[in-house]
């Protein structure tokens, strides 16, 4: 069928809206009519070819939509079902089988490879050239796409489908790092470094966990002001203040739980220097391969500290995303406050506004 898709044709260049041919859904695939898609930093870094997904390519990995057709062997959904799309995994490796699919040994191939595992691509352009598909199992910057069944999360028809796409990546990443990995108990203290879409999702999860002290750290005052409206009890602009010293002062010795969403090596060291005895710190911010941080392991040894490196909130999307929607429905996870809508035709503006910081989480809406 003919679809309209935003195609990355050249490295570091704006996406181009094109008519493409989409093939039929194959074994284990679901054709989804896209309703909306979030835009994430990972789309921008693949557009810029930090990761080598072959171009031309249809990116997009925070889709939400309605099942249009199912390929052979699909059992979990049927046409008309409302779905959120998340990352793709194999389902058969040790990580997948032990309930940690975001550490799937085939993650890179399935999410960044740009094709099915047999090498075929779902899209063809007007010149008959194949266009990379199956980005995160979904390539959601297209009016219709053939999606891997393991990327599909069925959701209630009562939920606001237009807003749900970012639950599949950025929001699940921040919220999952807090709810699935750090698990702050009621009354505990939490610090979030970096108050972008991922950090603020973590902050909302800390609020939902009834943490008593929730400290937001950033270098942009407007972001810190916004963090306060979402429930931060304290804010620190680390450009003007010594963040570890201030965190130790606020918490009376060191914080219980910490999340670094910046991927900055100096912030990572600040995080470890802010921890209390038996604290638990997590890194989710992406840094270039080869980035090294300097920490005092002599002193840290005494602290009993736990450090986790977390991908996609260590979540099982089919279990975790419905939980986030329940929290949202109960008024305990107002992630909609992070979202700004754009028409699909204005997708390059959505990328630009995310990169300049004007918009926390852009979502493009298909007609």
Q: Does 238 bind ligand NAD (CB under 6 A)?
A: yes
Per residue, what are the HEC states of 26-87? CCCEEEEEEEEEECCHHHHHHHCCCCCCCCCEECCCCEEEEEEEECCCCCCCCCCCEEEECC
Residue 169 or 175 having the CB closest to Zn ion: 169
* 74: partner contacted, choices ligand NAD, Zn ion, none (Cβ within 5-8 A by kind): none
Contacts of 339 (CB under 8 A, 6+ apart): 38, 163, 166, 360, 361, 362, 363
> Does residue 46 contact residue 58 with C-beta atoms inside 8 Å?
no
Task: Name which of 168, 167, 363, 199 is nearest 285 in CA terms.
Answer: 199
CA 187/CA 204 separation, integer angstroms: 15
Residue 156 or 266 having the CB closest to ligand NAD: 266
Residue 3 or 164 having the CB closest to ligand NAD: 164
Residues paired with residue 84 on neighbouring β-strands, in sequence order: 64, 153
* 286: partner contacted, choices ligand NAD, Zn ion, none (Cβ within 5-8 A by kind): ligand NAD
Binding-site string for ligand NAD from residue 144 to residue 183, where x marks contact by CB under 6 A and - marks none: -------------------------xx--x----------
Residue 113 or 199 having the CB closest to ligand NAD: 199
- The count of other CB atoms within 10 Å of the CB of residue 1 is 12
Strand, helix or coil at 157? Answer: coil
> Does residue 63 contact residue 165 with C-beta atoms inside 8 Å?
yes
To ligand NAD, the closest distance from the beta carbon of 202 in angstroms equals 9
Backbone angles phi, psi at 282, to 5 degrees: -135, 140
- The count of other CB atoms within 10 Å of the CB of residue 346 is 15
CA 258/CA 286 separation, integer angstroms: 16
Q: Does 194 bind ligand NAD (CB under 6 A)?
A: yes
Residue 7 or 40 having the CB closest to Zn ion: 40
Residues paired with residue 64 on neighbouring β-strands, in sequence order: 36, 84
Residue 70 or 339 having the CB closest to Zn ion: 339
Of the ranges 64-72, 93-101, 207-215, 263-271, which one interacts with ligand NAD (CB under 6 A)?
Answer: 263-271
Q: Which residues in the 47-66 window bind Zn ion by CB under 5 A?
A: none
Binding-site string for Zn ion from residue 274 to residue 303, where x marks contact by CB under 5 A and - marks none: ------------------------------
CA 100/CA 316 separation, integer angstroms: 7
Q: Does 223 bind ligand NAD (CB under 6 A)?
A: yes
Binding-site string for Zn ion from residue 154 to residue 183, where x marks contact by CB under 5 A and - marks none: ---------------x--------------
To ligand NAD, the closest distance from the beta carbon of 102 in angstroms equals 7
Q: Which residues in the 33-92 window bind ligand NAD by CB under 6 A?
A: 40-42
Binding-site string for Zn ion from residue 5 to residue 44, where x marks contact by CB under 5 A and - marks none: -----------------------------------x-x--
Strand, helix or coil at 226? Answer: helix
Q: Which residues in the 101-120 window bind ligand NAD by CB under 6 A?
A: none
Task: Name which of 67, 48, 236, 52 is nearest 151 in CA terms.
Answer: 67
Binding residues for ligand NAD, rule: CB under 6 A, are: 40-42, 169-170, 173, 193-199, 217-220, 223, 238, 261-264, 267, 284-286, 310-312
Binding residues for Zn ion, rule: CB under 5 A, are: 40, 42, 169
């Amino acid at each position: 069928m003919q679809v309209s898709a935003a195609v990355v044709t050249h490295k570091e260049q704006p996406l181009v809206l094109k008519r493409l041919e989409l093939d039929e859904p194959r074994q284990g695939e679901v054709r989804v009519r896209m309703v909306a898609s979030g835009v994430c930093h990972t789309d921008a870094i693949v557009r810029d070819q930090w990761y080598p997904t072959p171009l031309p390519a249809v990116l997009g990995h925070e889709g939400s939509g309605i099942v249009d057709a199912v390929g052979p062997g699909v059992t979990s959904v049927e046409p008309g079902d409302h779905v959120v799309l998340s990352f793709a995994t194999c389902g058969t490796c040790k990580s997948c089988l032990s309930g940690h699919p975001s550490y799937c040994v085939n993650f890179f191939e399935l999410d960044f490879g740009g094709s099915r595992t047999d090498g075929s691509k779902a899209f063809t352009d007007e010149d008959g050239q194949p266009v990379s598909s199956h980005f995160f199992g979904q390539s959601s910057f297209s009016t219709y796409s053939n999606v891997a069944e393991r990327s599909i999360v069925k959701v209630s028809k009562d939920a606001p489908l237009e807003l749900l796409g970012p639950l599949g990546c950025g929001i699940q990443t921040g919220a999952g790092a807090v709810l699935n990995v750090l698990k702050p108990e009621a009354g505990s203290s939490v610090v979030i470094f970096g108050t972008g879409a991922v950090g603020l999702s973590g902050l909302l999860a800390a609020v939902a966990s009834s943490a008593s002290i929730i400290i937001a750290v950033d270098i942009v005052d407007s972001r810190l002001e916004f963090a306060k409206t979402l429930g931060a009890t304290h804010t620190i602009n680390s450009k003007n203040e010594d963040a570890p010293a201030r965190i130790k002062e606020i918490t009376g010795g060191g914080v219980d739980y910490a999340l670094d969403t910046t991927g900055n090596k100096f912030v990572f060291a600040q995080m470890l220097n802010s921890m209390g005895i038996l604290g638990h710190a997590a890194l989710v911010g992406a840094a270039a391969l080869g980035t090294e941080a300097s920490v005092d392991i002599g002193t840290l040894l005494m602290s009993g500290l736990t450090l986790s490196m977390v991908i996609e909130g260590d979540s099982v999307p089919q279990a975790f995303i419905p939980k986030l929607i329940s929290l949202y429905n109960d008024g305990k996870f107002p992630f909609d406050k992070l979202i700004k809508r754009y028409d699909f035709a204005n997708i390059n503006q959505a990328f630009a506004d995310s990169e300049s910081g004007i918009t926390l989480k852009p979502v493009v809406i298909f007609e």
